[in-house]
A = this chain, B = another copy of it.
Amino acid sequence: MKFMCDGVVLSDAAITVSKACAAKTLIPAYECVKITAKNDGLTLVAYDGEISIRKTMKADVLEEGEVCVNGKFFSDFVGKISDMSIVVSENEKGMKISYGDSSTILQTLPTDEFPSLGGDPCEEYFEVKQADLKNLIAKTVFCCASDDSRPILKGCLLEADQGKLSATALDGFRMAVSSCELVGGTGYLKIVCPARTLTEISRILDGEEETLKLYVEKNMLSVAVGDTVLRSKLYLGEFVRKENIFPAEFTTTITVNRNELIESVERAIILIRGDKNNLIVFEMKNDGARITANSEMGNVAEFVNAALQGKELKIAMNGKYLLDALKALEEESVVLSFNTPVSPFTAENAEKKQSEYLILPVRTNA
């Protein structure tokens, strides 16, 4: 194998693809990038057992072939020669990268150890505006579980139905639901996509108005943006349904200024830093809402103007969860809706109901 190419283009491709390299694994191939030189270009691909990213680029191929090298080293290294023209070849010692008067040998791995992914995009798909998808991901993915106790919760439920794409994420303590318009598709589709995959898709999106087709086949998702193709395994199993969890009615509802509430909660959280529950107490009365937090450092008593509808209520919660939800909402006014001190409550925009957050309260003895 031998090819010549521009350092910037190769570095750019290496950075994109190496995002799918595993960081720590017992399977060396999962840390690798496979480079295939064929016809008038290169294909770089990395696969960590869950996500694969493939990118094609132009190059002067002098001798066709393929080679497999550590992705992190390769991408860091070519990032440092991006202002030069590069010649890459293979010899018995490994992959030789020549630039200027210098050269570097990187250890290679037999290419047959690189796992095959197989399968072309099939015919089922749904299509959304890139900006809408990016927004949908940002509004939900932070509520996905990060531990392995229930693996399916590390994913986000995506459901394409009747011109709408909705996303649901939950970690056992809180839940996010958001939706956007579909531009097109082949009909009803329901998948559970790993949160990491959605984050990577968000990263490779390069447009606003352009649309993106997300192809689905059995347990695989596949998207193409320019020369980059990302494929990911999907999670199988039953996902919690929003309808079973979101209360249909509420007995206490307050409307508050979002920024004012964010600032109050942020101050309350400073004092309880280090407490894993981030416990704050929210008390809604006719004249407004009070937020209190106590720790050995001191105590905060915040007053926030709020319009109350329904019964007065006192409820304890994880302030961090409320803050995350408030920051993901967009409008000047938000609505918080409650029932009892031990039942889940919701947060949403006062006007635009695209995203909704449900949070479990914290039971206290007091």
A→B interface (CB under 8 Å): 70, 73, 76-77, 80-81, 94-95, 100-107, 263-264, 266-267, 270-271, 288, 296-303
Q: How far is the CA of A114 from the CA of B97 in the complex (A)?
A: 62
Inter-subunit contact A271/B80 (CB<8 Å):
no
Inter-subunit contact A102/B271 (CB<8 Å):
no
A271-B303 contact in complex given A107-B297, A297-B106, C-beta closer than 8 Å: no
- Residues on B with C-beta less than 8 A from A100 are 303
Which residue of chain B lies nearest to A260 when distances are taken between CB atoms in the complex? Answer: B100
Inter-subunit contact A76/B270 (CB<8 Å):
yes
CB distance from A307 to the nearest CB of B (A): 15
Inter-subunit contact B301/A264 (CB<8 Å):
no
Please pick, from B70, B106, B297, B300, the residue contacting A70 in the complex, using a CB distance under 8 A. B297
Please pick, from B70, B73, B301, the residue contacting A104 in the complex, using a CB distance under 8 A. B301
CB distance from A53 to the nearest CB of B (A): 21
Q: How far is the CA of A222 from the CA of B100 in the complex (A)?
A: 52
- Residues on B with C-beta less than 8 A from A270 are 73, 76-77, 80
Inter-subunit contact A298/B76 (CB<8 Å):
no
Inter-subunit contact B102/A264 (CB<8 Å):
yes
Inter-subunit contact A301/B94 (CB<8 Å):
no
Q: How far is the CA of A298 from the CA of B94 in the complex (A)?
A: 8
Q: How far is the CA of A181 from the CA of B10 in the complex (A)?
A: 48
CB distance from A255 to the nearest CB of B (A): 17
A80-B303 contact in complex given A70-B297, A270-B73, A298-B104, C-beta closer than 8 Å: no
Please pick, from B76, B77, B298, the residue contacting A106 in the complex, using a CB distance under 8 A. B298
- Residues on B with C-beta less than 8 A from A300 are 102, 104-105
Inter-subunit contact B303/A101 (CB<8 Å):
yes
Q: How far is the CA of A103 from the CA of B102 in the complex (A)?
A: 65
CB distance from A158 to the nearest CB of B (A): 37
CB distance from A4 to the nearest CB of B (A): 19
CB distance from A285 to the nearest CB of B (A): 13
CB distance from A278 to the nearest CB of B (A): 15
- Residues on B with C-beta less than 8 A from A101 are 288, 303
Inter-subunit contact B299/A105 (CB<8 Å):
yes
A102-B303, A103-B301 are known; give 14 further A-B pairs, CB within 8 A: A70-B297, A73-B297, A77-B267, A77-B271, A80-B266, A80-B267, A102-B300, A102-B302, A104-B298, A104-B299, A104-B300, A104-B301, A106-B297, A107-B298
CB distance from A75 to the nearest CB of B (A): 10
Which residue of chain B lies nearest to A95 when distances are taken between CB atoms in the complex? Answer: B298
Name, among A80, A263, A264, A267, the residue most crowded by chain B CB atoms within 10 Å (CB to CB): A267
Inter-subunit contact A81/B267 (CB<8 Å):
yes
Q: How far is the CA of A80 from the CA of B101 in the complex (A)?
A: 55
Inter-subunit contact A102/B297 (CB<8 Å):
no
A80-B263 contact in complex given A271-B73, A271-B104, C-beta closer than 8 Å: yes
Q: How far is the CA of A321 from the CA of B301 in the complex (A)?
A: 52
- Interchain residue pairs with CB less than 8 A apart (8): A80-B263, A80-B266, A100-B303, A102-B267, A102-B302, A105-B300, A106-B271, A107-B298
- Residues on B with C-beta less than 8 A from A70 are 297
- Residues on B with C-beta less than 8 A from A77 are 267, 270-271
Which 9 pairs between the two chains have the least Cβ-Cβ distance?
Answer: A101-B303, A106-B298, A102-B302, A104-B300, A105-B298, A80-B267, A107-B298, A102-B303, A76-B270
Q: How far is the CA of A266 from the CA of B77 in the complex (A)?
A: 9
